[in-house]
Amino acid sequence: MFRSEIREFDTTHGSPWDRGSADSYYGRPRDPHWGGVGGLRGRQRVTDLSESEIQAYHAGYDYNELYGERKDWR
């Protein structure tokens, strides 16, 4: 995936793309979801995703694997 390809996805906080990139950053396994509704801390995890949402999640995960960073747990 090239950096320009992310433009086709919603990358806002809580979106499937955002959650995929965050899971990669924190070293978590792939588990497609999005942030759901509510305040930032009150968001419900939504796992019943459409095919396009699953694709966006994996795109975010892959993007961070290629270009992103990893959380330094030290």
The reply to whether 52 falls in a domain is yes
User: What would the pLDDT profile of 61-70 be if each residue is shown by its tens digit?
Assistant: 999 999 999 9
The reply to whether 21 falls in a domain is yes
Q: Which pLDDT score, from 0 to 100, does residue 44 have?
A: 81
The reply to whether 17 falls in a domain is yes
From residue 50, give the alpha-carbon distance in Å to each of 5, 58, 69, 70. 20, 13, 28, 28
Sign of CA dihedral 73, 61, 57, 9: positive
Q: Which pLDDT score, from 0 to 100, does residue 41 have?
A: 62
For 29, the domain range is 3-67
Cβ(66)–Cβ(37) below 8 Å: no
Query: What is the DSSP code (8-state) at residue 5?
Result: G
pLDDT at 11 over 70: yes
Q: Which pLDDT score, from 0 to 100, does residue 71 have?
A: 95
User: What would the pLDDT profile of 33-60 be if each residue is shown by its tens digit?
Assistant: 998 665 556 668 899 999 999 999 999 9
The reply to whether 20 falls in a domain is yes
The reply to whether 74 falls in a domain is no
Tell me the average pLDDT across 16-21: 95
How many independent structural domains does the chain possess? Answer: 1
The reply to whether 42 falls in a domain is yes
The reply to whether 73 falls in a domain is no
The reply to whether 72 falls in a domain is no
